[in-house]
Amino acid sequence: MDYGGWFTARTGHGACHAAGVDMNTGKPARLKGPSPAAVPVLSDDERLTLERYSLAAAASNEGLYDWDLRTDRVYYGETWKALLGYAEDEIGSSPDEWLNRVDPDDLIWLQATLDAQASAGGKPFQIEYRITHRNGHVLWMMCRGIVVLDDDGEPTRIVGAQRDITDRKNAEEQLRLSEERYALAAQGANDGLWDWHVATDQLYCSPRWTAMLGIGGGARTSTMEDWYAQIDGEDRPRLRAAVDTHLAGGSAHLEEEVRTRHAGGAELWVLIRGVAIRDEEGEAIRMAGSMTDITARKRAEQQLLFDAFHDGLTRLPNRMLLLDRIGQALGRRRRPEEAQFAVMIFDIDHFKTVNDSLGPLVGDEVLCAVGQRLDGARRSGDTVARLSADEYGVLMDGVLDVKAAVDAAERLASAVAEPLTLSNGQEVVMNVTAGIALSGSGYASAGDMLRDAGLAMFRAKTSGRNRVEMFDDALRERALTRLRLESDLRHAVEGRQFRLFYQPIVRLADGTVAGFEALMRWFHPERGMIPPSDFVHLAEETGLILKMGRWALVEATRQLAEWQGRFSPDLFMSVNVSGRQLMEDDLVAAVTETLDTHRITPGTLKLEITESLLLDDPGRCLAIMEALKRKDVKLSLDDFGTGFSSLSYLHRYPIGTLKIDRSFVRAAGESDRRSAIARIITLLAQALDLEVIAEGIEKEAEADFLRGLHCQFGQGFHFAPPLPKEAVEDLMDARRRSHEVLEGLSALRGLPPKGR
């Protein structure tokens, strides 16, 4: 009988029935057993052997099966049924009980395997397939078996066992997925892989590893020493030590950044990671890992490091790097044999004019050119740095004394002062002002030394520019005094330490009080009253004048409103306005808000400005002054004649009052040419219908001289000093009582009262 293809030729898996099958039960007769006479008698050894097999099968948790090919009936062991979730009586003996539960994709291979067994000559087989459990989930089964042949070599039975291997298959699948993820991750990370067998010193390098180094031919096998030879000589000992440490158990894993060479000669930075695989005794037998190209990151880090310590425009060292090198020089200076050194600061004179007139691009060109000239003129070992917009610092080693330092600074300044031809063809000459600090002064920090060089440079600037100044202790003391004053001034603004004093402005014709000038006074809690000359310029520089000026404007206007109601509605008040107030604060809005809050007689608030303000931004000044005029605010030009006086001011700007400076008033009545200036100012004011106020009148002769010039108003100690509010009110009350007495006497005599 030809059994080849017998299984697949079956119809419904149960078409053939042969003798030896119990037709009532459907089970093979030999398994159920025929008549008692036909049951073989087993010896004790045979019975013991059968028992051992039964116990072994039970212990292995394998489901036995016995398929009688002649009757097409299958005996399914109880364990097999239990594996599928069925009870003993829930599965019959048909092959369909098995085959109909097999996954359709695996049934083809199972059929082919069983078909092959019919002609396999009794050789054992094994196959893994999926089958459906009673509750619907899928199990993986491993089926093992063997074909039993009769005396004629014909297959009569297939017997074997089946085992649930679902857990193993799931683990294999997870391992496969894990390996796949790792492979994809390694491919995505673009890493090269390496695997070193320690005992044989065989080093496997993946294709990506070799490609990274520009080595052709794909994967290769070499030795660890070959790899070490490719590492940069400075980094090689570090990598070797890290590998040895990890092999000895001194680190959890290997991770080192080293330099290597591409086959084309370029330097590469690589990150090498690895971990050792150890035997039961903890000895490393293999070591595997990855190699990542980090060249781009390292170059970016190097660029960031360079940018952190260098100026972006000139590419010179910046303040931070200069301070670091000054600090190193100070550390060396602590050794007696080290010569002293100098720190210099160079500031470009009038750079703002160049930048504003020629534009910022040309300004940048000038800054680069100055930096290049300083760097080109320095000695080897010296450092030139750009500190701020137009300031450069120089660290100069080996300076013998003050003269040597000054000579060196002047040499650098001369290099900068050479004519410079710009890219637009224009030629400019740039000068610098320098300040020097010498290390011999016993500095403890780099910041202190750089600060003192800056103080010396600032003094050189205020002394006329284009010069070199050496730092001395007096400069530091002045700087500390200024710093303390600035700190106290900030506290004064917040702590309401300011008060307004009022100096009467009188009519020279009859001596009556026409108004007041509000003058700020600072009452320091420890130093007492500080005059304006000591703090106004500092308030201007720090910007505190904006807040102080607003407060003075509001307080003076409030006081004027009170005095107009108490004494006379014609009283006026003059309030000084600084340059920063006019140009940076919204002065028009501040005045509008103040006038809305404190009602005063229109035209009685006067704002005093200086001539220098009109030079900074004439167009903007004119717009602001016109807006103030529309608010019935009068404008007074202070210290007229002392600055860049121009007749154009008087017809271009809406000025209503000129104030004659005290230097011209003091020359009145003397053979001093300055007295003629006072005369000219009053004549000019009369011609233009302007009021004139002379300040600083201290003598009656000066008052008489000004009356002769028909000057309308005067102020000074001859009439009254600046007074606090209470003293002003006492003065005004006394004058009113005196005036009332004079009016009474005049009435008795029938004469008009004096002063009317």
- CATH number assigned to the domain comprising residue 232: 3.30.450.20
Quick count: other Cβ atoms within 10 Å of Cβ 659? Answer: 25
DSSP-assigned states of every residue in 47-62: HHHHHHHHHHHHHHT-
Taking each helix axis from N to C end, the angle separating 446-462 and 319-333, rounded to the nearest 10 degrees, works out to 110
CB 414 within 8 A of CB 346: no
Please say if the pLDDT value at position 755 is more than 60.
Answer: no
Report if residue 499 sits inside a domain. yes
Report if residue 212 sits inside a domain. yes
Report if residue 182 sits inside a domain. no
> Do both 584 and 702 map to the same domain?
yes
> Do both 625 and 692 map to the same domain?
yes
Give the tokens for residue 652: 């271009």
First-residue to last-residue Cα distance in the chain: 157
- Chain-centre distance for alpha carbon 238: 34
Looking at residue 483, its pLDDT comes to 75
For the stretch 636-659, pLDDT in tens is 988 776 655 566 667 788 989 998
> Do both 501 and 454 map to the same domain?
no
- Chain-centre distance for alpha carbon 67: 79
Looking at residue 684, its pLDDT comes to 86
> Do both 575 and 694 map to the same domain?
yes
Residue 54's nearest CA partner among 36, 77, 31, 33 is 77
CB 309 within 8 A of CB 321: yes
> Do both 248 and 329 map to the same domain?
no
Distance CA 156, CA 147 (A): 7
Residue 163's nearest CA partner among 128, 111, 135, 138 is 128
Query: Greater confidence, 103 or 475?
Result: 103
> Do both 341 and 467 map to the same domain?
yes
Query: Greater confidence, 710 or 48?
Result: 710
Please say if the pLDDT value at position 597 is more than 90.
Answer: yes
> Do both 329 and 347 map to the same domain?
yes
Under the banding of pLDDT at 50, 70 and 90, the label for residue 672 is: low
> Do both 249 and 296 map to the same domain?
yes
- pLDDT above 70 as % of the chain: 84
Residue 432's nearest CA partner among 380, 400, 469 is 469
Please say if the pLDDT value at position 574 is more than 80.
Answer: yes
DSSP-assigned states of every residue in 562-602: HHHHHT-TT-EEEEE--HHHHHHS-HHHHHHHHHHHS---T
Give the tokens for residue 61: 């948790």
- pLDDT above 90 as % of the chain: 46
Under the banding of pLDDT at 50, 70 and 90, the label for residue 248 is: very high
> Do both 630 and 519 map to the same domain?
yes
Decide which of 278, 300, 322 is a domain's last residue: 300
For the stretch 617-627, pLDDT in tens is 778 888 899 99
φ, ψ for residue 386, nearest 5 deg? -100, 125
For the stretch 287-338, pLDDT in tens is 998 899 999 999 998 888 888 999 999 999 999 999 999 999 988 876 666 6
Under the banding of pLDDT at 50, 70 and 90, the label for residue 32 is: very low
Looking at residue 39, its pLDDT comes to 43
Please say if the pLDDT value at position 122 is more than 90.
Answer: no
Give the tokens for residue 337: 């044999």
Query: Greater confidence, 570 or 663?
Result: 570
- H helices of 293-417, where? 295-309, 319-333, 351-358, 360-377, 402-416
CB 426 within 8 A of CB 358: yes
Question: Looking at residues 30-36, what average pLDDT do you find?
Answer: 33
Domain that holds residue 732: 491-739
For the stretch 486-540, pLDDT in tens is 888 888 888 788 999 999 999 999 999 999 999 999 998 888 888 888 888 888 8
> Do both 320 and 255 map to the same domain?
no
Q: What is the CATH number of the domain that holds 519?
A: 3.20.20.450
Strand 125-132 vs strand 138-149: parallel, antiparallel, or unpaired?
A: antiparallel
Please say if the pLDDT value at position 34 is more than 50.
Answer: no
Looking at residue 1, its pLDDT comes to 39
Burial of 357 (0-12, 13-18, 19+ CB in 10 A): exposed
Looking at residue 580, its pLDDT comes to 82
Decide which of 300, 318, 341 is a domain's last residue: 300
Decide which of 107, 136, 170 is a domain's last residue: 170
The SS3 of residue 254 is strand
Query: Greater confidence, 750 or 140?
Result: 140
Report if residue 217 sits inside a domain. yes
What letter represents residue 434's amino acid?
A
Contacts (Cβ under 8 Å, ≥6 apart) of 440:
340
Burial of 44 (0-12, 13-18, 19+ CB in 10 A): exposed
∠ CA(465), CA(466), CA(469), 5° rounding?
Answer: 80
Q: What is the CATH number of the domain that holds 351?
A: 3.30.70.270
Number of structural domains the chain divides into? 4
Please say if the pLDDT value at position 102 is more than 80.
Answer: yes
Looking at residue 555, its pLDDT comes to 95
Tell me the residue ranges of DSSP E strands in 415-459: 420-421, 427-428, 432-438
∠ CA(434), CA(437), CA(442), 5° rounding?
Answer: 175
Please say if the pLDDT value at position 731 is more than 60.
Answer: yes
Distance CA 388, CA 314 (A): 11
Under the banding of pLDDT at 50, 70 and 90, the label for residue 209 is: confident
Residue 512's nearest CA partner among 558, 569, 571 is 571
> Do both 531 and 411 map to the same domain?
no
Residue 141's nearest CA partner among 26, 219, 63 is 63
pTM of the complete model: 0.49
For the stretch 50-74, pLDDT in tens is 566 666 666 667 889 999 989 999 9
Under the banding of pLDDT at 50, 70 and 90, the label for residue 13 is: very low
Report if residue 7 sits inside a domain. no
Give the 3-state secondary structure of 652-673: HCCCCEEEECHHHHCCCCCCCH
Report if residue 28 sits inside a domain. no
> Do both 536 and 645 map to the same domain?
yes
Looking at residue 38, its pLDDT comes to 42
Query: Greater confidence, 411 or 533?
Result: 411
Looking at residue 37, its pLDDT comes to 38
Report if residue 91 sits inside a domain. yes
Report if residue 23 sits inside a domain. no
CB 259 within 8 A of CB 267: yes
